[in-house]
Structure 1
Amino acid sequence: MTSSANNTIKPRDSKYNPLNIIKRCQIENRPVLIAGPMVRYSKLPFRELVRDYNADIVYSPMILAREFVRNRNARMSDFSTNEKDKCLILQIGSNNVVDLMRMVEMVRPYVDGIGLNCGCPIKEQVREGIGAALMSNKELVSDMVRAVKEKYGDSITIETKIRVHNDINETIEFVQCVEKAGVDFITVHGRTKTTRSSQPCDYDKIKIIKQSVNVPVIANGDCKSLDDAYKIQKLTGCDGVMAVRGILNNPAMFAGFKVTPWGCVEKFWNLSTSYGLPFRLIQHHLSCMLDGLINKKLHIELNSTTNLIELIEWFDFNFIVKRPGELGFGESVAVQYRQHRETSARI
């Protein structure tokens, strides 16, 4: 875990408190725009990128508390941050109060909020009582939330990210229980832990949850554009909307771009190489951003590169990729092909 070079940790600015951001967006009569947690992909470079395109709140990937609190190497590799990394909610995967409290104590100076994951459907996590497994144990979730709030009060904001049950009454009982424990806001994914992503999100259930509690509620599921965010808010009455797959494919979606602008690709190259990001993560991000924007042959070539140098050289051969300091860096919208690829590379 890294922070700024200054060893003195400054208090977090209250304007980045998630609850204050929610209140501000309510005054502005718009949904809070949130970039949700993605395993491996919500790293520091990507978080900075989406903030540059109007994301109000950004999540870290889910980090397992048991590994984080016991293993220094896990702490160093799983979480990095800096002075620009605001508003940041660090999402935690935990199945007990002790590990959660130890992790909160470690990370709270560096984050604006804590998210407790109760929705991850990955089988390995569910088997260990983490993620979506917690949807069957509202008492344990309430105990974890209560422990954090009793020790830290308003000095730390805590959220729970959940999925819905087949029986909506079970979900209502769950959210009312964690609300009573002191949770500050709730994010609801409108699918059960077994619902395939190809099936539509159930906004009616999210609306019912919103009507069942007094804390702010964020809607999650199938948000792929800024227009979607406003439509989802209208359908559910929620205070904000979280995008995950949509913002992975188009980090500029909250700025109103229908597809990833080329300037976004240039900015990502700069951030990922400046901060450091493993080659396969860089490759995957770029593959998602350019899916549908370049032809199939080029897309296959991109995904076939085997190391960072090869990927950089491939981009420079096929495209004009401006660097910081060059005129127009980060400003182009259309894909900037090299002249020799202009005709053959277009879709």
Structure 2
Amino acid sequence: MTKHQPFVKEKINKPIDIIRRNIELGKPTLVAGPMVRYSKLPFRATVRRFGADIVYSPMILAREFVRNETARVADFSTNDEDTCLIVQVGVNNTTDMVRMVEMINPYCDGIGINCGCPIKDQVREGIGAALMSEPHLVHDLVKASKERFPDFCIEVKIRIHDDIKQTEEFIKIVEKSGVDFITIHGRTKDTRSSIPANFEAIKYLKTITTVPVIANGDCFKPDDVDKIVKYTGVDGVMAVRGVLTNPALFAGYEVTPWKAVEWFWYYAVNYGLHFRLLQHHLSEMLDKSISNKVLREMNFKKNLVDVIEWFDEMFDLKRFGEEGFGERVEIPIKPGSGLIFSNGIILWEDSEKHKS
């Protein structure tokens, strides 16, 4: 985003309105959560096409965004189709918070305050998980923004404490700020991602919370959404690692369908994405369908042209506008590529030739 941004978003996709509408319809709100580096515009467009109601940007540091135009251009890009969009912010004071809302609200549908990032550098700066011990500061961040921009949607994303009563007290304080909804990650700041999320805690916190609640943690398969909602009673589910590996998770696919790969290619090439990020996304999307040996060859490519040529050599990669683009589920192996399906996985037909 620059000061010459050519458009201002119409506020027709207010996140809280989407959540309330889904509550009335008796269905959960589906949220693609923030990922450092990976929640860029092309990926947001892809997950949105495959069922996400609300999509987050990566976390942006407010202090850099409000002071440095170079940081603004590097950290944030959008367009008029990038909605419903919540920009997640790392912030530790009301001055930066209000200025951030003032500058970015014409270009997004809401802001989310990150109170959960456990990275030590962020915690030392007083942002992320450090805010879990500062409920009154979080209250003030939201309240100050709401006083200036009462109709702008503000969300707070938290983790749980070791003592759940401390989390309950945190929520009660923050609710008084006018926050629109709260996302609860079912782990503490010290819990490893390999440990299952604590849905029992989320279930309890939902019963004492007066604003809508989104549950975050361990949503990797389509049926995880229903399991989480039925167990906890929450109003929506956020997937993060789950949609990174499968952007079509919310559309009911167990693994990434080929049509999602083609749409991602289209958005990445047209909107622009750093080569290594594009390469990583493709590797994540295809990880469950293609053997490591085959993926390794793709990951060894050094530039965008080489990766495109590799895809064209191995698969029938349609371009936007071609018949069949964005329609197929199974990966279309090209004759003569040396690839075969075996037990649902694509691998080299001549394994000795491509032995690593």
Shorter-chain-normalised TM-score: which range?
over 0.9
**What is the distance in 1 between the residues matched to 2:10 and 2:337?**
51
Q: Which residue in the other structure is 2:354 paired with?
A: none
Whether the aligned pair in 2 keeps the contact of 1:4 and 1:82 (CA below 8 Å) is: no
Whether the aligned pair in 2 keeps the contact of 1:2 and 1:81 (CA below 8 Å) is: no
**What is the distance in 1 between the residues matched to 2:139 and 2:21?**
28
Q: Does 1:147 align with 2:144?
A: yes
Q: Which residue in the other structure is 2:188 paired with?
A: 192
| SS, match of residue 272 in structure 1 | helix
Q: Which residue in the other structure is 1:206 paired with?
A: 202
* 1:92 aligns with one of 89, 93, 115: 89
Q: Which residue in the other structure is 2:280 paired with?
A: 284
Q: Which residue in the other structure is 2:57 paired with?
A: 60
Using the TM superposition, give the Cα deviation of residue 3 of structure 1 relative to its aligned residue in structure 2, in angstroms.
9.6
**What is the distance in 1 between the residues matched to 2:240 and 2:232?**
18
Using the TM superposition, give the Cα deviation of residue 63 of structure 1 relative to its aligned residue in structure 2, in angstroms.
0.3
* 2:332 aligns with one of 329, 333, 336: 336
| SS, match of residue 18 in structure 2 | helix
Whether the aligned pair in 1 keeps the contact of 2:9 and 2:108 (CA below 8 Å) is: no
**Cα distance change on mapping 1:10 and 1:158 into 2, 3 Å:** closer
* 1:107 aligns with one of 95, 104, 107: 104
Q: Which residue in the other structure is 2:261 paired with?
A: 265
TM-score when normalising by structure 2: 0.94
| SS, match of residue 340 in structure 1 | coil
Using the TM superposition, give the Cα deviation of residue 6 of structure 1 relative to its aligned residue in structure 2, in angstroms.
4.4
Q: Which residue in the other structure is 1:37 paired with?
A: 34
* 2:45 aligns with one of 44, 48, 51: 48
Whether the aligned pair in 2 keeps the contact of 1:35 and 1:58 (CA below 8 Å) is: yes
Q: Does 1:73 align with 2:73?
A: no
1:18 is aligned with what amino acid? Answer: P
Whether the aligned pair in 2 keeps the contact of 1:186 and 1:216 (CA below 8 Å) is: yes
**What is the distance in 1 between the residues matched to 2:198 and 2:4?**
42
Using the TM superposition, give the Cα deviation of residue 343 of structure 1 relative to its aligned residue in structure 2, in angstroms.
4.5
Q: Which residue in the other structure is 2:353 paired with?
A: none
| SS, match of residue 341 in structure 1 | coil
Whether the aligned pair in 1 keeps the contact of 2:9 and 2:80 (CA below 8 Å) is: no
Q: What does residue range 110-189 of structure 1 map to in structure 2 within 5 Å?
A: 110-153=107-150, 155-189=151-185
| RMSD of aligned alpha carbons | 1.4
Residue by residue over 1:60-109, the C-alpha shift from the partner in whole angstroms, topping out at 9 and shown as x without a partner, is 11000011011101101111111111111110000111111111100011
Structure 1 unaligned segments of length 5 or more: list them.
Answer: none
* 2:19 aligns with one of 12, 19, 22: 22
Whether the aligned pair in 1 keeps the contact of 2:314 and 2:339 (CA below 8 Å) is: no
**What is the distance in 2 between the residues matched to 1:44 and 1:28?**
29
Using the TM superposition, give the Cα deviation of residue 313 of structure 1 relative to its aligned residue in structure 2, in angstroms.
1.3
| SS, match of residue 270 in structure 2 | helix
**Cα distance change on mapping 1:10 and 1:237 into 2, 3 Å:** closer
1:340 is aligned with what amino acid? Answer: G
**Cα distance change on mapping 1:4 and 1:341 into 2, 3 Å:** farther
Using the TM superposition, give the Cα deviation of residue 223 of structure 1 relative to its aligned residue in structure 2, in angstroms.
0.4
TM-score when normalising by structure 1: 0.96
Whether the aligned pair in 2 keeps the contact of 1:112 and 1:157 (CA below 8 Å) is: yes
Structure 2 unaligned segments of length 5 or more: list them.
Answer: 348-356
Q: Does 1:12 align with 2:8?
A: no
Using the TM superposition, give the Cα deviation of residue 10 of structure 1 relative to its aligned residue in structure 2, in angstroms.
5.2
**Cα distance change on mapping 1:141 and 1:321 into 2, 3 Å:** same
| SS, match of residue 200 in structure 1 | coil
**What is the distance in 1 between the residues matched to 2:84 and 2:4?**
16
Using the TM superposition, give the Cα deviation of residue 2 of structure 1 relative to its aligned residue in structure 2, in angstroms.
5.4
Whether the aligned pair in 2 keeps the contact of 1:30 and 1:230 (CA below 8 Å) is: no
**What is the distance in 2 between the residues matched to 1:288 and 1:3?**
34
Residue by residue over 1:268-305, the C-alpha shift from the partner in whole angstroms, topping out at 9 and shown as x without a partner, is 01100100000010001000000021112111112211
Whether the aligned pair in 2 keeps the contact of 1:3 and 1:80 (CA below 8 Å) is: no
- Report the more deviating stretch, 242-251 or 287-296: 287-296
**What is the distance in 2 between the residues matched to 1:131 and 1:323?**
40
**What is the distance in 1 between the residues matched to 2:255 and 2:192?**
24
Identity of aligned residues (%): 59
**What is the distance in 1 between the residues matched to 2:20 and 2:166?**
29
Higher share of residues assigned helix: 1
Using the TM superposition, give the Cα deviation of residue 306 of structure 1 relative to its aligned residue in structure 2, in angstroms.
1.6
Residue by residue over 1:228-276, the C-alpha shift from the partner in whole angstroms, topping out at 9 and shown as x without a partner, is 1111011111000000000000000100011000111011011001000
**What is the distance in 1 between the residues matched to 2:313 and 2:3?**
36
**What is the distance in 1 between the residues matched to 2:331 and 2:338?**
10
**Cα distance change on mapping 1:11 and 1:268 into 2, 3 Å:** closer
